[in-house]
Amino acid sequence: MFPTDPHDTRATLGVGPCSAFSGSPEAPLLEARVPAGFTSPAEGRVDRRLNLERHLATHPEATFYMRVSGNSMRDAGIADGDLIVVDRSVRPAMGDVVVAALDGEFTVKRLARDARGAPVLRAANPAYRDIPVGEEGELSVWGVVKWAVHKV
């Protein structure tokens, strides 16, 4: 059920390694927080530089980026076309959003338990049914989703 080779890129399934940000320039990061309520004067100065790869990939050698297709995770803030950051070195736990391989196809769902306590893959959209873990077909948890990046 858990990944065995964190370096397996599964290139044939459209998964890219962490090097997606390699060599990218660092971007300015202002230490001042931006209020989402009332306006305030901007600080107007760069306090340090931000490298997104270092920020998003805790374990770069085991981190992969994938594009989401579909809206089954919309209520978890993951939409069609979003970029997800998946860490294969993290042991999945109940409640985690994971990428699972089901009969050779990837899906992104939350690890959960049904009413009887049996593990399931659960969508974050009521239009989708739970997928029982360990029943029908071959299922393995490929990695844990750590970040979702989407356009505003």
- Reply yes or no on whether 140 is catalytic: no
* Cα–Cα distance, 93 to 62 (Å, whole number): 17
- Counting DSSP H helices and E strands in the chain, the numbers are 1, 10
Would you tell me how many other CB atoms lie within 10 Å of the CB of residue 96? 17
- Catalytic residue from among 109, 140, 146, 151: 109
* DSSP label at residue 125: S
* Cα–Cα distance, 147 to 118 (Å, whole number): 27
- Reply yes or no on whether 146 is catalytic: no
131 strand-pairing partners: 121
- Catalytic residue from among 19, 24, 40, 72: 72
Active site residues: 72, 109
